[in-house]
Amino acid sequence: MTISCDMLVFGGTGDLALHKLLPALYHLHREGRLHRDMRILSLARSNHSRSAYQALAERHCRAQVARADFNSDIWASFAERLDYFPMDAAQSADFGRLAQRIGRDPERVRVYYLATAPNLFQDIAAHLANAGLAGPRARIVLEKPIGHSLESARAINAAIGAVFDESRVFRIDHYLGKETVQNLMALRFANALFEPVWRAGHIDHVQISVCETLGVENRGAYYDQAGAMRDMVQNHLLQLLCLVAMEAPVRFDAESVRNEKVKILEALKPISGLDVQDKTVRGQYTAGKIGGHDVPAYYFEKNVDNDSDTETFVAVQAEIDNWRWAGVPFYLRTGKRLARKASEILIQFKPVPHRLFNGSEANQLLIRLQPEERISLQLMAKNPGKGMHLKPVELDLNLANAFSQQRRWDAYERLLLDVIEGDSTLFMRRDEVEAAWQWVDPILQGWHQYYQNPKPYPAGSDGPEQLQHLLERHGRQWAD
Ligand code: BG6
């Protein structure tokens, strides 16, 4: 059981709080992981009573939590922790009211979870400090994206840093809480097998794909300002790239792991100016069909501008200028409304130096994060019968089956518990976020400068045509 604390969720009526945070807290409660005195206070502008908010939360939790895991008695005991306080996070006076409500207790650990738009982060931190609520035991959790550019990220980080020292700032990237993402570290750093070949001499290229079938749902207003580059590449895809490429940390602790990740981000070769035409593909979905259903074009989605040029798809050829990875392209792609939902990392090895047999192909290691968690290594084997005819076969590890007795934790469960325990290993440090923006900003500027309007792709397809060209011109192919 963890320490006693108060968790205050700003944006308590938003999708993130209702779909992810409260269900994750419910699971932790159900498994006895929360201290009996822990309280959860949701904050938002709507004027709900406590019981109305609890009913709203229950409705969402029932929908999110597997039926077998939801139990009304357990919910009732969870609801005893759960309260609601209507306030406007932009109004400093409301923080005075909040302080009266919860008391200024410097000894108590308070976790402020900012599940709000990033433009509120600075004000909330300052108002908390003014109201005497940011004592030495208070922690703050920031959801990505941190800002929309390097400059705005720096301003947010500086404003937060003026109130909370870095050890008390938790910048969430929920991909780092995913089981298979952590398994990537286990695979690399707990098995001697891969390390000698995990480098330019043996690896031809790496593909990191996060493909979604979902559109922008109720988040059109946010997404239309952000686009896929800020929403996915700046954080999730770059974090995956770091975990694939980083050196082994000296220890598995927050500083050692993050020191290695930041070195990779700083070694990313800049893509700027006209390079964007050569090394990136930008796309936007048009109307199409997914799972047999018609879906509208992006520019007809709710709260999206009718002549929006926001990208819903990005592919980038990234390169890491360091000793281990010089000359190895890392192809990143992500998009909404694609044909399938799949998040995966493909390590494409180089072919054997001298081909003895027909049909011999280079090895591949596929690490699949979603929908199923599996790691498969493609090896060459002889086809039964006469002659040395080869065929690729898979050594396949299905992680869900290998640990079938254990419930798979949602990323937010693990990360919320880490915040309560004060462990920031799986959170982004300030310099990491800024280094990621440093690489992303020139690409965004290049698109703007050279009018790289997004290329259309029909919903339910694999993305814009130009996607294939990014690899085919080098004699490579996307793994599909
Ligand atoms: C979020 C993005 O961070 O990640 C969403 O804002 C995206 O646009 C989501 O849909 C994808 O997460 P997951 O866990 O479903 O792959």
Inter-residue contact 324 to 199 (CB < 8 Å): yes
In a domain, 419, yes or no: no
* Angle between helix 179-189 and helix 238-245 axes, rounded to 10 deg: 20
Residue to substitute in 211, 232, 343 for testing ligand 1 pocket (most ligand atoms within 8 angstroms of CB) = 232
- pLDDT one-digit tens code per residue, 149-198: 999 999 999 999 999 999 999 999 999 999 888 899 999 999 999 999 99
Residue 372 reports pLDDT greater than 90: no
CA dihedral of residues 308, 311, 313, 317 (deg, nearest 10): 160
What is the pLDDT at residue 73? Answer: 96
Residue to substitute in 15, 180, 212 for testing ligand 1 pocket (most ligand atoms within 8 angstroms of CB) = 212
Question: Does one domain contain both 169 and 316?
Answer: no
| Positive or negative: CA dihedral 272, 277, 279, 280 | positive
Backbone angles phi, psi at 301, to 5 degrees: -70, 155
- Spacing, Cα 334 to ligand 1 middle (Å): 10
Pairwise CA distance, residues 1 & 200, whole Å:
45
Residue 479 reports pLDDT greater than 70: yes
- The arithmetic mean of pLDDT across residues 35-56, rounded, is 97
- Spacing, Cα 184 to ligand 1 middle (Å): 19
What is the pLDDT at residue 480? Answer: 78
- pLDDT one-digit tens code per residue, 67-101: 999 999 999 999 999 999 999 999 999 999 999 99
Question: Does one domain contain both 182 and 169?
Answer: no
Nearest ligand 1 atom, CA 216? 8
Bridge partners, 424 (sequence order) = none
What is the pLDDT at residue 400? Answer: 79
**Which residues are marked as active site?**
236
Written as six digits, the tokens of 78 are 């969870």
Domain total of the chain: 2
CATH number of the domain enclosing 135: 3.40.50.720
- Spacing, Cα 33 to ligand 1 middle (Å): 26
The residue whose CA is least distant from atom 15 of ligand 1 is: 212
Residue to substitute in 21, 222, 236, 314 for testing ligand 1 pocket (most ligand atoms within 8 angstroms of CB) = 236
Residue 225 reports pLDDT greater than 80: yes
Nearest ligand 1 atom, CA 341? 16
In a domain, 137, yes or no: yes
In a domain, 442, yes or no: yes
Residue 352 reports pLDDT greater than 80: yes
Nearest ligand 1 atom, CA 369? 16
Banded model confidence at residue 343, pLDDT cuts 50, 70, 90:
very high
The residue whose CA is least distant from atom 13 of ligand 1 is: 175
Question: Does one domain contain both 324 and 211?
Answer: yes
- pLDDT one-digit tens code per residue, 357-367: 888 899 999 99
Nearest ligand 1 atom, CA 210? 16
- The arithmetic mean of pLDDT across residues 55-78, rounded, is 96
Note down the domain range covering 160.
Answer: 6-173
CATH number of the domain enclosing 184: 3.30.360.10
Written as six digits, the tokens of 369 are 């994060």
Nearest ligand 1 atom, CA 173? 3
Q: Which residue has the tokens 């300030």?
A: 430
- Spacing, Cα 211 to ligand 1 middle (Å): 10
Q: Which of 173, 192, 218 is the last residue of a domain?
A: 173
In a domain, 383, yes or no: yes
Pairwise CA distance, residues 242 & 257, whole Å:
10
- Spacing, Cα 206 to ligand 1 middle (Å): 21
- Spacing, Cα 239 to ligand 1 middle (Å): 14
Question: Does one domain contain both 352 and 461?
Answer: yes
- The arithmetic mean of pLDDT across residues 377-385, rounded, is 93
CA dihedral of residues 197, 198, 200, 205 (deg, nearest 10): 110
**Distance from the first to the final alpha carbon of the chain:** 43
Bridge partners, 333 (sequence order) = 209, 315
Question: Does one domain contain both 402 and 287?
Answer: yes
- The arithmetic mean of pLDDT across residues 271-292, rounded, is 96
Residue 52 reports pLDDT greater than 90: yes
- HEC string of the chain equals CCCCEEEEEECCCCHHHHHHHHHHHHHHHHCCCCCCCCEEEEEECCCCCHHHHHHHHHHHHHHHCCHHHCCHHHHHHHHCCEEEEECCCCCHHHHHHHHHHHCCCCCCEEEEEECCCHHHHHHHHHHHHHCCCCCCCEEEEEECCCCCCHHHHHHHHHHHHCCCCHHHEEEECHHHHCHHHHHHHHHHHCCCCCHHHCCCCCEEEEEEEEECCCCCCCCHHHHHHHHHHHHHHHHHHHHHHHHHHCCCCCCCCHHHHHHHHHHHHHHECCCCCCHHHHHEEEEEEECEEECCEEECCHHHCCCCCCCCCCCCEEEEEEEECCCCCCCCEEEEEEECCECCCEEEEEEEECCCCCCCCECCCCCEEEEEEECCCEEEEEEEEECCCCCCEEEEEEEEEEHHHHCCCCCCCCHHHHHHHHHHHCCCCCCECHHHHHHHHHHHHHHHHHHHHCCCCCEEEECCECCCCHHHHHHHCCCCCCCC
Residue 405 reports pLDDT greater than 80: no
In a domain, 77, yes or no: yes
What is the pLDDT at residue 22? Answer: 98
Question: Does one domain contain both 212 and 123?
Answer: no
Q: Which residue has the tokens 């940011």?
A: 134
Q: Which of 173, 196, 223 is the last residue of a domain?
A: 173
What is the pLDDT at residue 57? Answer: 98
Pairwise CA distance, residues 182 & 176, whole Å:
7
What is the pLDDT at residue 428? Answer: 97
- The arithmetic mean of pLDDT across residues 136-141, rounded, is 96
Pairwise CA distance, residues 60 & 315, whole Å:
34
Residue 408 reports pLDDT greater than 90: no
Question: Does one domain contain both 147 and 276?
Answer: no
* CA angle, residues 301, 220, 43, in degrees to nearest 5: 140
Question: Does one domain contain both 143 and 269?
Answer: no
Q: Which of 119, 150, 173 is the last residue of a domain?
A: 173
- Spacing, Cα 212 to ligand 1 middle (Å): 8
Banded model confidence at residue 1, pLDDT cuts 50, 70, 90:
low
The residue whose CA is least distant from atom 4 of ligand 1 is: 232
Residue 235 reports pLDDT greater than 90: yes
Question: Does one domain contain both 68 and 183?
Answer: no
The residue whose CA is least distant from atom 6 of ligand 1 is: 231
Backbone angles phi, psi at 143, to 5 degrees: -85, 150
Lowest average pLDDT, out of 84-93, 407-416, 455-464, goes to 407-416
Banded model confidence at residue 387, pLDDT cuts 50, 70, 90:
confident
Nearest ligand 1 atom, CA 235? 3
Q: Which residue has the tokens 């559109």?
A: 215
Question: Does one domain contain both 334 and 207?
Answer: yes
The residue whose CA is least distant from atom 9 of ligand 1 is: 232
In a domain, 424, yes or no: no
Pocket (CB within 6 angstroms of ligand 1): 212, 214, 231, 343, 370
Residue 452 reports pLDDT greater than 90: no
Question: Does one domain contain both 341 and 259?
Answer: yes
Question: Does one domain contain both 346 and 225?
Answer: yes
- Cut 0.85: pTM above it: yes
- Spacing, Cα 173 to ligand 1 middle (Å): 10
Inter-residue contact 30 to 63 (CB < 8 Å): no
Residue 188 has, within 13 A of its CA and on its CB side, a CA count of: 19
Give the number of other CB atoms < 10 A from CB of residue 421. 11
Nearest ligand 1 atom, CA 236? 3
Banded model confidence at residue 264, pLDDT cuts 50, 70, 90:
very high
Q: Which of 410, 424, 418 is nearest to 27 (CA)?
A: 410
Residue 236 reports pLDDT greater than 80: yes
In a domain, 207, yes or no: yes
Residue to substitute in 172, 214, 314, 409 for testing ligand 1 pocket (most ligand atoms within 8 angstroms of CB) = 214
The residue whose CA is least distant from atom 8 of ligand 1 is: 231
